[in-house]
A and B are shown apart, each in its own frame.
Chain A
Amino acid sequence: MANRIPRVPVREQDPKIRATNFDEVCFGYDAREAVLEAGRCLHCKNPRCVSACPVSISIPEFIAHVATGDFSGAASVIARDSSLPAICGRVCPQETQCEGSCILGVKGEPVAIGKLERFVADWNMENGGHKAEKAPSNGYKVAVVGSGPSGLACASDLAKMGYDVTVFEALHKAGGVLEYGIPEFRLPKEKVVASEIGAVKALGVRIETDVVVGRTVTVDSLLDEEGYSAVFIGSGAGLPRFMGIPGENLNGVFSANEFLTRNNLMKAYRDDYMTPVYTGHKVVVVGGGNVAMDAARTALRLGAETTIVYRRTEKELPARREEVHHAMEEGITFSMLTNPVEILGDEKGWVRGIRCIKMELGEPDESGRRSPVPVQGSEFDIEADSVIMALGTSPNPLIARTTKGLETNRRGCITADANGATSRPGVFAGGDAVTGAATVILAMGAGRKAAAAIDRYIKGTVADTVVGK
Chain B
Amino acid sequence: MFEIVSKEMLTPAICRMKVHAPRLAASAQPGQFLIVRPNEHGERIPLTISDYDRDNGTVTIVTQKIGASTSAICSFEAGDAFSDVVGPLGVPSEFTEKSDGELAGQRYIFIAGGVGTAPVYPQVKYLHSKGVPVDVIIGAKNAGLLIYKEEMASVCDHLYICTDDGSEGFKGMVTGLLEKLVLEDGNRYTQAVAIGPMIMMKFATLTARKLGLPIIVSLNTLMVDGTGMCGACRVTVGGKTRFACVEGPEFDGYEVDFDEAMRRQGMYRSQEHDAEERYEHKCKIGRGR
CB within 8 Å of B: which residues of A? 170-172, 180, 209-212, 215-217, 238-240, 242, 248-249, 251-252, 254-255, 257-258, 261-262, 265-267, 271-276, 278-281, 302-303, 348-349, 396, 398
Contacts and interface: CB of A to CB of B under 8 A. Distances in A.
A212 B227 contact: yes
A258 B268 CA distance: 14
Say whether chain B's binding surface is mostly helix, strand, loop, or mixed. Answer: mixed
Interface string B58-97: 0000000000110010000000000111111100000000
Contacts of B69: 274
14 contacts: A170-B227, A171-B225, A210-B84, A212-B86, A216-B24, A252-B267, A255-B231, A261-B230, A262-B224, A266-B43, A271-B285, A275-B43, A279-B289, A396-B228
Task: Place the interface of chain B in its size category.
Answer: 35 or more
A396 B229 contact: yes
B263 A210 contact: no
A258 B245 CA distance: 14
B53 interface: no
A274 B41 contact: yes
A209, A249, A278, A348: residue with the most chain B Cβ atoms closer than 10 Å: A249
Nearest to B69: A274
A215 B284 contact: no
Given A216-B87, A271-B287, A274-B41, A398 B241 contact: no
Interface string B31-72: 000000100011110000000000000000000000011001
What are the 5 tightest A-B residue pairs by CB atom distance, in nearest-first order? Answer: A258-B230, A210-B86, A238-B229, A172-B84, A276-B271
Given A215-B89, A249-B260, A281-B289, 10 more contacts: A170-B86, A258-B230, A267-B41, A271-B287, A274-B43, A275-B224, A280-B289, A302-B289, A349-B260, A398-B228
Contact of A274 (B68, B236, B246): B68
Given A238-B229, A271-B284, A274-B69, A258 B224 contact: yes
Contacts of A255: 230-231
A251 B271 CA distance: 14
B22 to A, nearest CB: 10
Contacts of B24: 216
B195 interface: no
Contact of A172 (B72, B83, B241, B264): B83
A398 B246 CA distance: 8
Contacts of B42: 274
A254 B222 CA distance: 12
B275 interface: yes
Given A248-B241, A271-B286, A172 B37 contact: yes
Nearest to A181: B229
B255 to A, nearest CB: 15
Which secondary structure dominates chain A's binding surface? loop
Contacts, number: 119
Contacts of B230: 240, 255, 257-258, 261
A244 B89 CA distance: 26
B232 interface: yes
B229 A239 contact: yes
Interface string B268-283: 1001100100110000
A240 B231 contact: yes
Contacts of B229: 180, 238-240, 257, 261, 396
Interface string B225-252: 1011111101110000100001000000
Which residue, A215, A252, A255, A303, has most C-beta atoms of chain B within 10 A? Answer: A215
Nearest to B40: A273
Contacts of B268: 276, 278
Nearest to A271: B284
A114 to B, nearest CB: 28
A249 B236 contact: yes
Contacts of A261: 224-225, 229-230
A396 B230 CA distance: 11
B209 interface: no
Contacts of A172: 37, 44, 83-84, 86
B227 A238 contact: yes
Interface in B195-238: 224-225, 227-232, 234-236
A72 to B, nearest CB: 34
A331 B255 CA distance: 44
A356 B37 CA distance: 40
Nearest to B263: A349
B84 A239 contact: no
Contacts of B263: 251, 348-349
A269 to B, nearest CB: 10
Contacts of A273: 41
Given A240-B231, A302-B289, A274 B27 contact: no
B264 A272 contact: no
A411 to B, nearest CB: 16
Interface string B80-120: 00011111110000000000000000000000000000000
A387 to B, nearest CB: 13
Nearest to B23: A216
B87 A215 contact: yes
* Max chain B Cβ within 10 angstroms of own Cβ: one of A172, A180, A265: A172
A171 B83 CA distance: 12
B27 A216 contact: yes
B232 A258 contact: yes
Contact of A217 (B27, B83, B289): B27
A244 to B, nearest CB: 8
A276 B275 contact: yes
A124 B83 CA distance: 32
B86 A211 contact: yes
A242 B242 CA distance: 11
B267 A251 contact: yes
Contacts of A272: 41, 284
Interface centre among A209, A261, A302 (most CB of B within 10 A): A261
